[in-house]
């Protein structure tokens, strides 16, 4: 059952995430865990969303990107290819004011090239905690 092992994360919406990784390999495929069930409207493809997020490579301690560290949420259209596939597939259909944990395999992230300047290697699984405002 190691494929279903996900990191643990503090579940408070809006709080800077603290991620603890299990002693296991990243799960296969796109995995989405709802940490806080939102009570807002459902996110639909084409909607503009405002999110806070914290992104790390599976098993690493330091984020490669974090809106919490910048103090400014991100805003973009979802479900239309403006962001990586893991976000388009992971956020559409969720409710606003939710906190999600996403484990995104390379085929739904940055693929075999990665983004070396951000510390993302080809084939890396990405982990995001996303608060949908």
33-132: CATH topology = Chitinase A; domain 3 (3.10.50)
Residue 2 has pLDDT above 60, yes or no: no
Q: What is the pLDDT of residues 4-63, one digit of tens each?
A: 699 999 989 999 999 999 999 999 999 999 999 999 999 999 999 999 999 999 999 999
What is residue 125's predicted lDDT score, i.e. its pLDDT?
97
Residue 47 — φ and ψ, nearest 5°?
Answer: -70, 150
Reported as type and span, the H/E element at residue 125 is none
- Among the listed ranges 1-15, 77-91, 102-116, which one has the minimum average pLDDT value? 1-15
**What are the structural domain ranges in the chain?**
33-132
Across the range 101-129, mean pLDDT stands at 97
**CA angle, residues 122, 4, 41, in degrees to nearest 5:** 90
For the chain, give the mean pLDDT. Answer: 95
What is the pTM for the complete model shown? 0.95
Nearest to 17 by CA among 4, 41, 33: 33
What is residue 32's predicted lDDT score, i.e. its pLDDT?
97
What is residue 27's predicted lDDT score, i.e. its pLDDT?
94
């Amino acid at each position: 059952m190691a494929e279903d092992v996900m990191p643990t994360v503090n579940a408070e919406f809006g709080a800077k995430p603290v991620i603890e990784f299990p002693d296991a390999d990243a799960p296969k495929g796109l995995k989405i865990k709802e940490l806080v069930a939102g009570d807002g409207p459902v996110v639909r493809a084409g909607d503009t969303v405002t999110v806070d997020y914290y992104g790390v490579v599976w098993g690493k301690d330091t984020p490669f990107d974090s809106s919490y560290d910048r103090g400014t949420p991100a805003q973009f259209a979802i479900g239309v290819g403006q962001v990586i596939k893991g976000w388009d597939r992971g956020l559409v259909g969720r409710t606003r004011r939710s906190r999600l944990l996403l484990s995104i395999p390379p085929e739904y992230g940055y693929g075999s090239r990665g983004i070396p300047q951000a510390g993302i290697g080809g084939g890396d699984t990405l982990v995001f905690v996303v608060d949908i405002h």
